[in-house]
Chain A
């Protein structure tokens, strides 16, 4: 079983749609959680950290459920520029900053 699992997609949605991505992680000792975004042929960039209380940044909302070992990302009012691969990332916290990446979920927003 992979340490971080995501549905690879692709998710094809029209502009303005709301889309949700889910991710599960296997190690209950994981301490930090993130969503990174990777554009085609570019490097990953941090989209947002994920906190137990849930957090929102504009059109993006991230949720963490430690009991279920489940992380989600909700994108409201999708824009064409949201098209990218969204990477669920987990940090075990005691391994020198080691990040475990999910395979990524590909999102394509169409006009």
Chain B
């Protein structure tokens, strides 16, 4: 069973479009994250949700809006896509609080977004 899954795996779209990426984890973790990995391979955190509550919100354009309907899902919606949004977007999860705290973050396979 896949622990952290993302859909779609590849996304090619035109500038100005709106798109969404979905993420699901079946590890029972309380915290989920979105990271962006650009062409220079830097992985940077964008957002984090703990039990559906936003706890990390980095300096990201407000065209990016995360949504967490429950603690097992964290989606990312991007409005008015720009060329510079082309990157690989990784979802991750961890257990941040409680006795079963696990610092390790488990990553999904990534979504390769190409904006033309």
Contacts and interface: CB of A to CB of B under 8 A. Distances in A.
Interface in A33-91: 34, 42-46, 49, 85, 87, 91
Contacts of A42: 109-110
Q: Main secondary structure on chain A at its contact with chain B?
A: strand
A86 B40 CA distance: 14
Given A99-B45, A103-B42, A43 B107 contact: yes
B104 interface: yes
A101 B96 CA distance: 18
Contacts of B40: 103
Interface stretch (B48-56, B67-75, B78-86): B48-56
Give the dominant DSSP class at B's interface: strand
A2 to B, nearest CB: 9
Contacts, number: 48
A97 B108 CA distance: 17
B56 A49 contact: no
Nearest to A44: B107
Interface in B90-111: 90, 94, 96, 103-105, 107-110
A49 B103 contact: yes
Interface residues of A, number: 19
Contacts of A45: 107
Interface of B: 31, 33, 40-45, 48, 50, 55-56, 90, 94, 96, 103-105, 107-110
